[in-house]
Amino acid sequence: MIEIKLDAAAWDGAQDDAQALLEKWLVVPNEQVIKGQTLVTVVMVKATIDIEAPTDGFIQQIFVQNGESFALGTVLATFKKSEISN
């Protein structure tokens, strides 16, 4: 299982109590995705950041929903690597 989070580098220069906004999930749980496919879009201050699939697989469970704010280190979802080889 892989935890999907906003990379810590995205928080560089942000205030300690900064929050990001989860703008939109682009996939649903159990939907097969490929490595590099955008999973979710988040907004930080004045930047929009896409989080991509770390490998082929699928989102297992979403913890932060569209329109919700979250802090540094928050797990947005869990991701399971695909066991099927093409």
Which CATH number fits the domain that encloses residue 31?
A: 2.40.50.100
Among the listed residues 66, 67, 71, the one whose alpha carbon sits nearest the alpha carbon of residue 6: 71
pLDDT tens, per residue, the chain with 86 residues: 999 999 988 888 888 888 999 999 999 999 999 999 999 999 988 789 999 999 999 999 999 999 999 999 999 999 999 876 55
Alpha-carbon distance 6 to 8, whole Å?
A: 6
Alpha-carbon distance 36 to 6, whole Å?
A: 15
Domain presence at residue 67: yes
Domain presence at residue 61: yes
Domain presence at residue 68: yes
What does the pLDDT look like over 60-82, one tens digit per residue? Answer: 999 999 999 999 999 999 999 98
Domain presence at residue 44: yes
Domain span at 51: 2-10+20-81
Domain presence at residue 37: yes
Alpha-carbon distance 9 to 43, whole Å?
A: 14
The structural domain count of the chain equals: 1
pTM of the predicted protein model: 0.80
